[in-house]
Structure 1
Amino acid sequence: MTTAAPPTEASASTPAAEELRAWLRLAHARGLRPLALRLLLAAFGGPCEVLTKSFASLAQVAGPGAAEAVLGPPAEIEGTPFGRYIEGALAWAAEPGNRILTLADSDYPQALLNMPDPPALLYAKGRLERLQARAVAIVGSRHATPQGLEDARRFAHALSGAGLAVISGLALGIDAAAHRGALGSAAGTVAVIGTGADLVYPAAHRGLAHEIARDGAILSEWPLGTPARSANFPQRNRLIAGLSGGVLIVEAAMRSGSLITARLANEMGRDVFALPGSIHAPLAQGCHRLIKQGAKLVETPEEILEEFGFPTPATAAASRSTAPQPVSASWASARLPSESQPGEQTARVLAALGHAPATLEILAARTQFDGAALQGMLLQLEMSGHVAPLPGGRYMAVGRP
């Protein structure tokens, strides 16, 4: 963790700084559960008052374990003595764009207050107004397919553009695609992370994190300097669910962490949406399981917007998957097919392609066409908007006659 500058004399002595020190002391007191802290705050009025009470008074309200946590010696945080950590945290919060939000702050996300155990304290970077917007979470596999990444980006762009902030976890795969799709749109994006707010995980997303901090917000309940630990991410998922009015699962295997987010959202009374996929695709199995359990099957962003009560353009659904693909200069003089609908042979190729991406070799085996003829028909289907090429020499159907 970067060593923070020492606090100024003013910041060290103001009542607001003293109250924030008390919040930090209680929020990071080892063994003090959020519910117990809320009971103490309700009983005694504020964090400074809680710290002045006797063991007996504290134990009467929240139990002896909570009293011991409040009055016991503060533990180190990530190897840093507690007093030095507090001064470093205050210095971090004084930097432009950084805030430490407590339950008493008006900028604390209102959606989290509906949780049974909202964090007493949050570390935030970026535009705090993003934390108050109506929001939908988009999560899924770290090892997403090209189609899954495109779906996450497209849904995020449409939903954020319509006014729903997009919440995700800054992970590889679907999370990153969702954040990128929402950047620059009306409602923006919020990244809820499983490390300290002064760290970026994975490191490859450092640039993305800077973009989110500029256009959206980054949120963490973990102390500064907390590294990535597997045990932190289920708790991170709880905040993703809590901030959102609904959760969309784009791709998920049967044991995906995204299913934890979906379960937590369901327990909090949030809507759960899932994109269907091929029955042969491992990353569709988790989504299909959710749909069997009652998640809402969605195929377009407009369906989610309707669930949230947003008006949708009448033409949006008709144009969602048939938008023309960019054509490079080398294809500009290619001869277009004489008809917009596939002919008998190209329709045969389209039927062989089915609903899952396939390679040229697979299609040749299914259709018995030779390579040259098959490539010509795939080009016709691509030019007419029925097929799109994918990385790795695969093709995917994007429209149906």
Structure 2
Amino acid sequence: MSADSNARAAARPHRVAPGDVDYPPLLRDIHDPPASLHVLGDVSALARPQVAIVGSRRASAAGQRLAGELAAELVAAGLVVCSGLARGIDGAAHRGALDAGGSTVAVMATGIDVVYPPRHRPLAAALQAAGCLVTEFPHGTPPLPQHFPRRNRIISGLSLGVVVVEAAPASGSLITARSALEQGREVFALPWSPLHPGGRGCLQLLRDGAKMVETVQDVLDELGPLYRRHRECAAPADPPQQHGADWLLELFCAEAVDVDSLVRACDRPVAEVLRALSALELAGSVERVPGGYARC
């Protein structure tokens, strides 16, 4: 198919049912998967390994900056960022992924033809070109309050884990976190000061057992086994995923090697080596051991 044909196909909504090869395998396994999905953009993005980034609509400037930075680091590690297209943390996460040249998925609580909030129409258009919009609601469905909790279970269902960046105790993001736990996903939260009211929902999640996130590596360390399970659940007809880090894998032998030695051996920037290491670790090709990393 030509590039023009691909572009025209992406501009038309697709309807995907649980029996279709394009239906995301992780979502198919939850206890109440959508009977169908309406997708606008690259439908294959739904089946790639994803991490959800969610949080308050009334996010602080610091929260939005952290969401964008985390999204950029996750896409650099080869993951797709999933969120809900809302104001605040959601929008910052989508923009962070797009600005880093990555892919991002927006799960909508409306029909595929109704962008909410309206101010995010330009963001939705950019996202459609580098990922996709997806919803279970039919065309023309307005943003009704009861639809948002149902939307949230799809966000967590598509994802290997959910990162709550900033949330008050009554935030809808905690519904997403609860859905993630019910679906067997990892839940992460950022550690805010108790003096910040907008972060108390995150502190509540941490008290309840969520994994604390200070750097993106905290997320990647936990997701290794889930990432491998995702690959096992993928349709057998799918071609093997290339993580683009074979150049680094070739430098490993039987013994452990540290990051400094890898940087010297390949003569590449530290940041590029760390991104490649994260991709290899997520793919199950290398693992952390005393003294650095070793080939699995």
User: Please, what TM-score do these two structures have when normalized by structure 2?
Assistant: 0.72
Aligned-pair RMSD on alpha carbons? 2.2
Bigger radius of gyration among the two: 1
Displaced runs of 4 or more, over 3 A: 93-97, 184-187, 310-316
1:202 corresponds to which of 94, 102, 117: 117
CA distance change for structure 1 residues 95 and 279 in 2, over 3 Å: closer, same or farther?
A: closer
Question: Aligned-pair distance for 1:185?
Answer: 4.3
% identical equivalent positions: 49
Structure 2: gaps spanning 5 or more residues = 1-7, 228-244, 246-257, 261-269, 275-296
CA distance change for structure 1 residues 95 and 209 in 2, over 3 Å: closer, same or farther?
A: closer
Preserved contact between residue 10 and residue 41 of structure 2 (Cα < 8 Å): no
Question: Aligned-pair distance for 1:306?
Answer: 1.7
Correspondence 1:277 to 2:181? no
For 1:98, the equivalent position in structure 2 comes to 13
Q: Following the alignment from structure 1 to structure 2, what is the Cα–Cα distance between the partners of residues 139 and 94?
A: 29
1:150-178 per-residue CA deviation (whole Å, 9 max, x = no partner) reads 00000000001111111100000000000
For 1:128, the equivalent position in structure 2 comes to 43
Q: Following the alignment from structure 1 to structure 2, what is the Cα–Cα distance between the partners of residues 191 and 173?
A: 14
1:216-267 per-residue CA deviation (whole Å, 9 max, x = no partner) reads 1100000100000110000000100100110000000010000000001011
Correspondence 1:144 to 2:38? no
Question: Aligned-pair distance for 1:97?
Answer: 3.6
Q: Following the alignment from structure 1 to structure 2, what is the Cα–Cα distance between the partners of residues 313 and 97?
A: 45
Structure 1: gaps spanning 5 or more residues = 1-92, 320-401
Question: Aligned-pair distance for 1:268?
Answer: 0.7
2:204 corresponds to which of 272, 286, 289: 289
Correspondence 1:307 to 2:219? no
Correspondence 1:170 to 2:85? yes
- After TM superposition, list the pairs within 5 Å mapping 1:1-400 onto structure 2: 96-183=11-98, 185=100, 187-309=102-224
* Higher RCO (C-alpha 8 Å, min separation 6): 2
CA distance change for structure 1 residues 292 and 126 in 2, over 3 Å: closer, same or farther?
A: same
State the aligned residue count.
225
Preserved contact between residue 133 and residue 187 of structure 1 (Cα < 8 Å): no
Q: Aligned to 1:123, what secondary structure does the other structure show?
A: strand
For 1:30, the equivalent position in structure 2 comes to none
Q: Following the alignment from structure 1 to structure 2, what is the Cα–Cα distance between the partners of residues 244 and 136?
A: 5
Question: Aligned-pair distance for 1:96?
Answer: 3.5
